[in-house]
Amino acid sequence: MKILAADTATRSCSVALIDNSDLICEQTLISGQTHSRHLMDMIKKAFDLADLTINDLDGFAVTIGPGTFTGLRIGISSMKGLAAAAGKPVAGISSLKALAAQSSFSGHVCAMIDARRGEVYSGRYSVSASGFNSSIVKQESAETVMTPEQTVSRIDEPTLFIGNGAFLYQQKIKAILGCLAIFPSLLQNTIQASTIARLGMEQLQKKYHTTPHPLIPSYIRASDAEKMRSNR
């Protein structure tokens, strides 16, 4: 099953192509520029490197959040457009679940993405990691946005903290949890499109996919514009 996946949920922009358990190619860029400057060029390069066209694909996958509002809109709209053009299904993947799935860790995982304003988007998972196609990720808590202190307040067992939010608040987490807090290598804190592709493939194989039209971002926190409207 050939899947094109993209992640634009955070500062990094990542694109990958997989064919079942084989990773064909993957690109990840952190430039500080809007993802709209690079995403479609990265997708074209992936097709060129793989010598494939959009018609060779079986489906698409993209992160739906949480993450930056603009980044999510860029990724989702781009993949929806490609999926509609190809007439193929597209899977929406939680950016927090993706971080947990790529942790190469068996046990309790808390994925954290920087939400700014001193808060993090977070989700807690139980992970059994045993290979590209066989890691099992079970969600243990709802995805939330709160301070790092609130996020870790009820954790009382060894837990891996992963994501740019975990890296940003690593010292604070260590001060609260001590030896219960475990951290991965720095590279694992960046969402990898190959993980999105693998999770998307699992979704599509189980037919738990969405069609292009209903695919919407999972922001968790209301945007500033929405808050202004609600306060009027």
pLDDT for the residue numbered 209 = 55
pLDDT for the residue numbered 207 = 74
Length of the chain: 232
Q: What CATH code is assigned to 2-95+191-231?
A: 3.30.420.40
Q: Where are the domains of the chain?
A: 2-95+191-231, 96-189
Looking at domain 96-189, its CATH superfamily turns out to be ATPase, nucleotide binding domain (3.30.420.40)
- What's the pLDDT band for 228 if we cut at 50, 70, 90? very low
pLDDT for the residue numbered 225 = 41
What's the pTM?
Answer: 0.92
pLDDT tens for each residue of 155-171: 999 999 999 999 999 99
**What are the E-state strand segments in 8-158?**
13-19, 22-29, 59-65, 90-94, 107-116, 119-128, 136-139, 144-146
Q: Tell me the two tokens of residue 52.
A: 């494939």
Q: Tell me which of 50-59, 68-77, 202-211 is least confident.
A: 202-211
